[in-house]
Chain A
Amino acid sequence: MAADPLDIVISVRDMTCAYGERVIVRDVSFDVRRGEIFVILGGSGCGKSTVLKHLIGLYRPAAGTVTYHFPESERPLRMDIEGGADREAILRRIGVMYQGGALFGSMTLLENVRLPLEEFTDLPPSARDFVARMKLSLVGLEEFRDHLPSELSGGMQKRAAIARAMALDPEVLFLDEPSAGLDPITSAGLDELIQSLSRSLGMTFVVVSHELPSIFAIADTAIMLDKTAQGIVAQGNPADLRDSSDNPLVRRFFHRETAGAEAS
């Protein structure tokens, strides 16, 4: 599907991700459009989180490019693991929620969310506190601002991690397995939060997930990766893929069938 170039915020071209000699995905290309919730889905071990880590510059692609297009930048910014002005500019405009939350255990929730504001803005302390409280309020955790992460449940930790990732108002928010390990109600609450933030803030979300209810609830667009194909096997709206895809890999994934069931 050809997207309006002005709408594209992340553009991935011919990216190969590998750990040493072991190739995880080969020659993948896709675009993420501004304001959409873009889901990277697939079975365990297909390279979803690996692709995400390449997008956010933790790993260098073995081949190909990852380019970001921000309205305030005169030119596209290229993610380069070696550093440079482009990488710095990209990192200031993205936020990441890691699978386990990755909150700093010795800091309270307020201190966790305030940290990026302390490091990257000149706001006075009272303003930093208020902005951090506001972000926690957005994810429903304002009353827990003085708690340590270890005093909270897994779902609350993930919500706090989203608040921290949003501290500097990123244009793109990356979420790695937001629903993993959560009960259905907490998971649905998190999905609602993502949708509400997307609608109210117009933020772009890139979400890694293999939880089908969550994918159907939030995704505007999805790419499906597969371990054996080492790349993208389907792309589009998840509901459309479920209902109309002829690809057996896609059908198996969306209809929760094993390889044996498909063969019979």
Chain B
Amino acid sequence: MNQPAALRIDYAPQAPDGLTLSFAGRLDAQALGRLWNEILARAGQAGVRHVLADLSGVKALDGAGIALLLRLRLDKEAQGGGLELRGLPERYERLLDLFDTDRLRRDEGPARPRPGLVDRAGLAGMRFFDDLRQMVAFVGECTLALGYALRHPRRVRWQDMLLTCERAGAESLPIILLIGFLMGLIMAFQSAMSLERFGAQIFVPNMLGLVMFRELGGLVTAILLAGRSGSSFAAEIGTMKVNEEVNALVTMGLDPVRFLVAPKVLAAVAMMPLMILFFNFASLVGGAVVMLSLEFPLATYTSRVFANLGMIDFLGGLFKGLIFSLLVAGVGCQRGLTTGAGAGAVGQSTTSAVVSGIILIAVADGIFAVAFYYLGI
């Protein structure tokens, strides 16, 4: 590269309140990186009101150089002085005149003051209640849309629903089986090791059957649904929102909840019982591997798994799973529909869909635990 010399500056005080800055070399972003603050500090010393910038030795000038001259002019004019330029090529003079210095001066300082602690707490509270209000409104809209779907089954977009069934249900089978198998294996192994001290390993299958069918089957499958499909619903609908496709639906007179949300929620609810069944089956296979390795016969294992398991446990687990799937799919779609502007907003919606989904699952599971206890289930 054929680069002119780097920037050199001579500072010469001029009585009574002036300073001459003689620049030589390149007055550009590269050179000013380390000299910007020094130049402004020297020009801003007490007693300096007028600055003369001699640019006759400048070989190259770019936007950063022009910005420095503007900055000096604004600073000096604010002190009642001024900036005089010498040796600046004419086209740069014209360029300097293009800027609205009044506006640049007027808007000095931070444009938006940072809110204080009380303001931030208030804003967070408002966001929480706004979110809650939107959720309640969405539950209402969802109920209406699902009611409409039940009354007018021919108006449901079954193609979309089946496609979602495939993506959220069938395509998630490998991970459901893997996690189910590993959870069954780990729980059976850990329990067997603990109960060995009491000679109670024989009860491991009883515990595994009850825990999986009553509790963990629905819970873990719902968490998998939130991570895998709730996020995908939020991202898909959020991207449609950003691209104004949702607005297009609205202006076509189509209800986005009925058009986009209902097929997804119906698909999630339809797939959930099957996913729970596969999860439970895989977990029992995992438990069987452990028990067989501990030399318990398969017949003993299977008979003990179902010994304490009633139909009510099985149906209760499935029912909880159904409600979880409704919550996960619903909150995923709701987060998508409330996406803001830009690609970052889609990311936020996706994260929020998963976090909110898991929180809702945990809260609902707690409510079910209490309700089932009082109902004697």
Contacts and interface: CB of A to CB of B under 8 A. Distances in A.
A binds B: yes
B111 interface: yes
- The 8 lowest CB-CB distance pairs between A and B, nearest first, are A105-B342, A122-B33, A106-B344, A150-B341, A121-B29, A169-B62, A131-B67, A127-B36
Given A121-B30, A169-B63, A73 B103 contact: no
A196 B36 contact: no
Contacts of B344: 105-106
B341 A105 contact: yes
B63 A135 contact: yes
Interface in B61-91: 62-64, 66-68, 70-71, 91
B29 A117 contact: yes
B153 to A, nearest CB: 39
A259 B77 CA distance: 63
Interface string B223-259: 0000000000000000000100000000000000000
Size class of the contact patch on chain B = 35 or more
B94 A200 contact: yes
Report whether over half of chain B's contact residues are helix, strand or loop; otherwise say mixed.
Answer: helix
Interface stretch (A137-145, A229-237, A249-257): A137-145
Nearest to B93: A200
A126 B91 CA distance: 26
B159 interface: no
A234 to B, nearest CB: 32
Contacts of B67: 127, 130-131, 134
Nearest to A122: B33
Nearest to B36: A127
Given A123-B33, A145-B107, 18 more contacts: A72-B1, A105-B341, A106-B344, A106-B345, A126-B36, A127-B36, A133-B104, A134-B70, A135-B63, A137-B104, A142-B103, A143-B103, A148-B341, A167-B63, A169-B29, A169-B64, A199-B94, A201-B91
A168 interface: yes
A105 B343 contact: yes
A149 to B, nearest CB: 8
Contacts of B36: 123-124, 126-127
B34 interface: yes
